[in-house]
Structure 1
Amino acid sequence: MGKHAVVIGASMGGLLAARALADHYERVTVLERDTFPAMGEHRKGVPQGRHAHSLLSIGREVLEELFPGFSQEVVAQGGVKSLYASRPLLEGHVRQRVLALPNLRAIERCDVLGLTTDGQKERVTGVRLAQRESGVEQLLGAELVVDASALIDSPWSIVVGRDLRLKEVEGKRSATSHFVNWYLGKLPRAARHDPAVAMAFGKVVNFRDRPKSLLHPRVLWRVLQGNLFPPRAAAAEPRLQKA
């Protein structure tokens, strides 16, 4: 068993990572930049946090395995049996269970300034953090550091960027958002003709890979190539004429 693991970010991803690590490390520390809200209250910085959320069956199975009786708790607090509930309610129950672990502690209202490494810069040895109120910096050593602070950055940027296609939506339209919107418009067309693009696209749609994998140079080139030089339609076979 390891000595100490650090998780940066106390979102659903960070909390579940901390729960998994608690079985394999003597101590787990979760670092969060904001203050934990009360059960059922919205947390600052959560995109679409006020929308209702529904868990897929695999998600429900994982939560039940990590937190036995989780579904019953959520339903008792107003969720539907299929675990159709608000994000604050789901996350609140996960956070409550995680923070109750005897070998876990959470540090709220702190900013992670960077990672620390060994002399050869070959291995991460911990994190540098600062308390928001006092500004006092602190070094926190760890055998493992999990960065769960930006798990949704790519998909969220894509969603917001797609909204900016509409003229009535306010917001800055950068060169990046213009390119991403253009590229996402070409991607399905390339996937219809290129099996490699179709496979990459399918992995993202089915949550088996991250959205930014679609911008890998190999996929990017195939999409651009497929749109610059689209495959020719197959020539129609000549019909036999009756004598």
Structure 2
Amino acid sequence: MANLEWDKSSRWDPYFNMPTAREIELDLALGSDSWLSLLASDQPVPVPPPSGRHAIVIGGSMAGLLAARVLADHFDRVTIVDRDRLPVEAKFRDGVPQSRHLHALLKRGLSVLEELFAGLESELLAAGAVRLTGRDFLRMSAAGWARRFEGPPLIAATRELIEWSVRSRTLQHPKVSVLQEQEIVGLLVASDSATVAGVQVRARGSDRHQALTVPLYGELVVDASGRNSKAPEWLEAIGFAKPQETLINSFLGYSSCVFAPRPGFQADWKVLMLGDKPPAMPRAGALFPIEGDRWMVTLAGYGRDYPPTNMAGFMEFARSLRSDILYQTIKDAKPLSRINGFR
């Protein structure tokens, strides 16, 4: 039997209103047979009699959260399965490494979010997100400095704040629940061998040879696990051919750092965007305001011209852009974070 340690507090976690794999293990150890019929098998498993239509979403990031919210309008239950312990406030988590970089909600995305979560825009603004229009942008395109005009509004904030706000609203829905610190290890197949009947769930970090794998049945499975999805391998394991993949790699890399503006800083813009101009200039940079009266500065380079992750190199890269205005803006600003890279 696998590790039987049971975190009883998980039953009272506002994000945890379904039993965990460890709780199921404890039930089994205590002699309960309520979960015996759910033990995983390498053979196709029959679909149990429906007790309510159930949708399963793999991954609890933005795509998964929005999928869950939409599916809640069409299914009796929706379960999100995520590998992380989801933070109860706007904090970084390992499963979203891109959150260290620049994020914004453009008008269309903001409108869709507002349709799904009425009042979300006001909540983001109250938490410090910054509302912007086109006149707030000082932007250099490949053709030079762009004209400034009003344009549709957008919101700038950290990914942590945006995702936490959406997650909080999604998990308030009575039909949506989440399994945390669990990973999907395969798909379940119906007796006809042609229908996906759910997923196999295992506690993250557990010994794969000893840990209990628990089937989770559902009429629909949505894979929102991102670029590291194992869906091709899962499909191959149940007898389907792997989908053909085409990879086009621009070898784009980012480096980002959060800054506090120098005291008394004033400008007639809130956002700086310095675009690349290939092939001669493969570098770009941007500065966006974020909650807490801070700046998120992201530098980018194509073709393996990656911006450094040390401060001296970061500053030199910023100075090398098509205009030095970004460098002049941040050279006297106070760094508030380490420089985080993405390759």
Shift of 1:51: 2.2
1:50-89 equivalent positions in 2, closer than 5 A: 50-81=100-131, 82-89=154-161
Matched, 1:162 2:162: no
Letter in 2 for 1:69: G
Residue 120 of structure 1: CA displacement? Answer: 2.6
1:142 equivalent in alignment to 2:218: yes
Distance 1:17 1:27 in 2: 13
* 130, 142, 152: which one aligns with 2:202: 130
User: C-alpha distance in 2, partners of 1:157/1:33?
Assistant: 28
Give the alignment's TM-score, normalised by structure 2.
Answer: 0.45
What is residue 181 of structure 2 aligned with on the other side? 109
SS at match of 1:15: helix
Name stretches of at least 5 consecutive residues in structure 1 with no aligned partner.
171-243
The letter for the 1-side match of 2:130 is: V
Tell me, yes or no, if structure 1 residue 30 matches structure 2 residue 75: no
Deviations 1:203-241 (A, max 9, x none): xxxxxxxxxxxxxxxxxxxxxxxxxxxxxxxxxxxxxxx
How far is 1:53 from its partner? 1.2
In the alignment, structure 1 residue 120 sits paired with structure 2 residue 192: yes
Asked if the contact 1:126–1:139 (Cα under 8 Å) also holds between the matched residues in 2, the reply is yes
Within 1, Cα distance between the matches of 2:156 and 2:306? Answer: 31
1:152/1:110 CA distance change after superposition, 3 Å: closer
Instruction: Give, in whole Å, the separation in 1 of the partners of 2:166 and 2:158.
Output: 13
Paired position in structure 2 for 1:95: 167
1:123: how far off?
1.0
Check conservation: 2:53, 2:219, Cα contact below 8 A: yes
Could you report, residue by residue, the CA deviation over 1:177-200 in whole angstroms, capped at 9, with x for unpaired residues? xxxxxxxxxxxxxxxxxxxxxxxx
Distance 1:4 1:71, change over 3 A: same
Describe the superposition over 1:73-128 as per-residue Cα deviations: whole angstroms up to 9, x where unpaired: 00000101231100000000000001111111100001101111112321111000
Q: Flag the 1:50–1:28 CA change in 2: closer, same or farther, 3 A.
A: same
SS of match in other structure, 1:49: helix
* Gapped regions of structure 2 (runs ≥ 5): 1-51, 132-153, 230-244, 254-301, 309-343
Q: Please state whether the residue corresponding to 1:25 is helix, strand or coil.
A: coil
2: CA distance, partners of 1:168 / 1:98: 36
Match of 1:41 in 2: 91
Q: The residue matched to 2:114 in structure 1 has which SS?
A: helix
Query: 2:162 and 2:249 mapped to 1: Cα distance?
Result: 24
Q: Tell me what 1:188 maps to.
A: none
Matched, 1:9 2:99: no
AA partner of residue 140 (structure 1)? L
Question: What secondary structure is seen at the aligned counterpart in 1 of 2:54?
Answer: strand
- What is the deviation of 1:157? 8.6
CA distance in 2, matches of 1:69, 1:145: 29
- Please report how far the alpha carbon of residue 166 of structure 1 lies from its aligned counterpart in structure 2 after TM superposition: 3.3
C-alpha contact 2:124 2:161 (8 A) present in aligned 1: yes
| Higher helix fraction (1 or 2) | 1
Whole-Å separation in 2 of the counterparts to 1:118 and 1:138: 16
Shift of 1:55: 1.1
Number of corresponding residues: 168
Give the residue type in structure 2 aligned to 1:105: S
Query: Which residue identity is paired with 1:166?
Result: R
Q: 2-side partners of 1:157 and 1:130: how far apart? A: 33
Letter in 2 for 1:162: L
Separation of aligned partners in 2, 1:133 and 1:151: 20
TM-score (norm. length: structure 1): 0.63
Does the C-alpha gap of structure 1 residues 130 and 151 become closer, same or farther in structure 2, counting only changes over 3 Å?
same
Shift of 1:67: 0.1
